[in-house]
């Protein structure tokens, strides 16, 4: 009957995982604090590389193919080697070219971030609604039949068109909460 069956608990457990990973990351950073770390130089963009990851131990990221090298490779000889072996046609491109690629990369990153967080909010809203319906012992069809139109009415009167469009993206019949 339902497309996906998943308990609310396991959903929120999954939602919490990024925090655990962040905690682990900071532990590793503390452990390695004393080791020598190479820093990113603006001039490395000439070789097509930008910095990514932890600012104390940045990794060079190739703006052309997206390859991420280790912090030890953060030096002109290694970066140039990547450019010469992987992208020989581009090695003599002007800085302007790599600058444009860098901007394109940053724009894509921003877009992806915005899309991911709005999808995540939509998914959470859907689960929270399904949980309420289950607790109230109502048929799950009430989401599409009553709750969504009512939420849209409220948005229309109080918040405006943008809010209605956001609410309309919440699937109110996609999940059945298991108890």
Among 3-11, 57-65, 88-96, 155-163, which window interacts with Zn ion (CB under 5 A)?
57-65
Residue 86 binds Zn ion, judged by CB under 5 A? yes
How does strand 4-5 pair with strand 175-176?
parallel
75 three-class SS: coil
Among 83-91, 144-152, 157-165, 169-177, which window interacts with Zn ion (CB under 5 A)?
83-91
Among 38-46, 59-67, 121-129, 152-160, which window interacts with Zn ion (CB under 5 A)?
59-67
Q: Which two tokens mark 95? A: 């800085």
Residue 65 binds Zn ion, judged by CB under 5 A? yes
Residue 64 binds Zn ion, judged by CB under 5 A? yes
How does strand 49-52 pair with strand 175-176?
unpaired
> What residues are paired with 94 via a beta bridge?
none
CA dihedral 64, 91, 89, 38 (to 10 degrees): -40
Least gap, CB of 86 to Zn ion (angstroms): 4
Residue 159 binds Zn ion, judged by CB under 5 A? no
Q: Residue 79 or 172: which CB sits closer to Zn ion? A: 79
Looking at 45, 50, 51, 62, which residue binds Zn ion (CB under 5 A)?
62
Among 8-16, 24-32, 64-72, 121-129, which window interacts with Zn ion (CB under 5 A)?
64-72
| HSE value, Cβ hemisphere, 13 Å, CA-based, for 101 | 19
Q: How many helices (H) and strands (E) does the chain have?
A: 6, 4
Residue 95 binds Zn ion, judged by CB under 5 A? no
Phi and psi based region of residue 70 (left: phi greater than 0; alpha: psi -120 to 50; beta: remaining): beta
Least gap, CB of 97 to Zn ion (angstroms): 14
Residue 47's closest CA among 27, 67, 28? Answer: 67
Could you list the residues that contact Zn ion (CB under 5 A)? 62, 64-65, 67, 86
């Amino acid at each position: 009957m339902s497309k996906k069956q998943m308990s609310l608990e396991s959903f929120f457990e999954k939602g919490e995982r990024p925090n655990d990973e962040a905690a682990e990351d900071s532990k590793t950073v503390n452990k390695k604090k004393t080791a020598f770390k190479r820093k990113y130089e603006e001039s490395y963009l000439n070789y097509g590389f930008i910095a990514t990851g932890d600012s104390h131990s940045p990794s060079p990221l190739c703006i052309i193919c997206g390859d991420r090298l280790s912090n030890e490779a953060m030096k002109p000889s290694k970066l140039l080697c990547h450019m010469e072996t992987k992208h020989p046609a581009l090695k003599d491109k002007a800085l302007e070219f790599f600058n444009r690629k860098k901007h394109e990369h940053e724009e894509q990153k921003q877009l992806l971030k915005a899309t991911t967080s709005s999808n995540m909010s939509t998914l959470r809203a859907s689960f929270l609604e399904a949980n309420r319906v289950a607790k109230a012992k109502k048929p799950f069809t009430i989401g599409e039949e009553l709750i969504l139109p009512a939420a849209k009415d409220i948005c229309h009167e109080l918040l405006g068109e943008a809010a209605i469009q956001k609410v309309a993206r919440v699937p109110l019949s996609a999940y059945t909460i298991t108890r």
